[in-house]
Amino acid sequence: MLTTKPSRDDNLIALFDLVDSYLLHQKALAGAISQGSLSLAEAKYSLGPTSVSQIQYDSRMQRTRFVNVRDTSESRTGESVFEEVVEQPLTRRAADGAKISEGDDAKRTGAANPLAWFAPLPPRSLRNAQTSFVQAAKLAIRLAGVARELESARLRCADDDKAEAEGQERP
C-alpha cells in the first residue's frame, strides 16, 4: 500500500483543527482553575482563614500524583507523549521492616486524603476545590499534548511553504 504525503491544504486544515482544540482545552483549564479557586475561597470563608492554609500541611507530605512524559522517538511522529495524572499508591515500612499498607498508614496518620489535614469532616466546598484542581491537572496535561501536536503541525506547514517557495524560484 502506498502512502501519500498530505497536501498543503490537509496540513492547514489539521493545523486549524489543532488551534481550535488548543483553545477549547485552554478555556476548559481556565474554567477548572477558576472553579477550584472559588471553591477554595468559599472553604476558607466557612472554616476560617487559618483553617485552610500552609500551616495545616502534614510534615510527612508526599506526592500522590505524578505526570509521566515518554519520548516516543520510535513512533512515526517522534513526539513526546504526556500520560494522564496517575495516582501513586503509598507504601511505607515500619521500624521492624514490615510493610504498612496504604489503608493502615492512613488510619494512623490521616494522610490518605490531603483534605483530612484541614478538617476532620471537610466541607463540600473544599472537596469541590480538590475535584476542580485534579481536573485542572488532567486538562493541563492534555493541553501540553495538544500544544506539542500544534507545534509539529506548524512546522509541517512551514516546510510546505518553504518547499513551495523553492519550487517557484527554480523555473
Average pLDDT rounded to a whole number, residues 128-134: 93
pTM: 0.70
| Residue 79 banded pLDDT, cuts 50, 70, 90 | low
| Average pLDDT for the chain | 77
Query: Which range (50-54, 99-103, 136-140) has the least confidence?
Result: 99-103
| Residue 62 banded pLDDT, cuts 50, 70, 90 | confident
Average pLDDT rounded to a whole number, residues 47-64: 77
| Cell numbers 478538617: residue | 119
| Cell numbers 469541590: residue | 128
Domain ranges of the chain: 10-169
Contacts made by residues 108-116, CB under 8 angstroms, sequence distance 24+: 109/58, 109/60, 111/58, 111/60, 111/61, 114/58, 114/61, 114/64
**What 3-state class would DSSP assign to 5?**
coil
Average pLDDT rounded to a whole number, residues 129-143: 92
Residue 28 has pLDDT above 70, yes or no: yes
